[in-house]
Amino acid sequence: MDSSKLTKESLAKLFDHTFLKAYATNEDLKTLCDQAKTMNTAMVAVNTAWTAFCKKELAGTGVHVGAAIGFPLGQCGLETKLFECKYAIEQGADEIDYVIDVGQAKMHNWNYIREEMEKMTAICKEKNILIKVIFENCYLEKEEIKKLSEIAKEGKPDFIKTSTGFGTGGATVEDVKLMKETVQDAVQVKAAGGIRDWKTCKAMIDAGATRIGTSSSIQILKEFEEATK
C-alpha cells in the first residue's frame, strides 16, 4: 500500500481502534465506539466480554466489532480458544484476533501451531468472520516469525499480526517486512503495539501493513492532516 495516496478517510479505515485494558468500563467502551463512529474506523478491538455491548453501540454504522481471543498470553489451551471464539461470534463479533500459544512456537511444535490456526480459521470462515493471528514477535526469533508466517500462508487466515501490545515490545518495520515478504498476497499483515504517531504508522503501512491496531487513532489522524496540508 502506498501511504502517499491515503486520505484521512482511507487511513481511518485501516484502524482497529483499541481498548483492551483490564479496567474497562461501560463509559470507556462507549467512548471508544463513539470515537470509532466519528472516525469511521475499520473496527473496535475489545476483550470478548464487551462484544455484545459494542455491537449494540455500533449497530448500523459499518464499524466492525473485533474480539480478542486467548488474550493477551495465548496459553489458555486450544479448546478454550475455540469455545471463546464461538462465544464471541454468537455475541456479534465481526472479526477475531487470537493469540497463538507462543510457548509452543518457542518449542517449535509447529504441528500444534498449525492445528490451532486451522481450527480457529475454520470456525471463522464458516461464519464469514475475519480472523487475525497474533504472533507476539517480541518473544520470537526472526526464523520463528518466518516459520509462523509460512504456516499462515498455507492455512490462509485473513491476517497475521505482530503483537498484542501487552508484551515486552510492539510492532517493528523489520518484522512487518519479514511477515509480508513471507506471506506475499496470500495473507494480510496487521501491525499493532506501540503505534502512537503518524510517522510510525506510515512506516508500518509502507512496510506492508494493511491494518493498524492502535489506541491512538485520533492523534494519528490529527498528525496525518497536519502533515498533508
Annotated domain spans of the chain: 8-228
**64-119 pLDDT, tens digit each:** 999 999 999 999 999 999 999 999 999 999 999 999 999 999 999 999 999 999 99
Q: What pLDDT is recorded for position 226?
A: 96
Q: What pLDDT is recorded for position 52?
A: 98
2 has a pLDDT exceeding 90: no
Residue whose grid cell is 481498548: 19
For 8-228, CATH gives: 3.20.20.70
Beta strands 95-99; 64-69: pairing state? parallel
Residues noted as catalytic: 97, 161, 190
Q: How many residues does the chain have?
A: 229
7 has a pLDDT exceeding 90: yes
12 has a pLDDT exceeding 90: yes
* Average pLDDT of the residues of the chain: 97
Q: What pLDDT is recorded for position 4?
A: 87
CB 71 within 8 A of CB 46: no
Q: What pLDDT is recorded for position 109?
A: 98
**150-197 pLDDT, tens digit each:** 999 999 999 999 999 999 999 999 999 999 999 999 999 999 999 999
Q: What pLDDT is recorded for position 217?
A: 98
54 has a pLDDT exceeding 90: yes
Dihedral, 196, 225, 202, 74 alpha carbons, nearest 10: 40
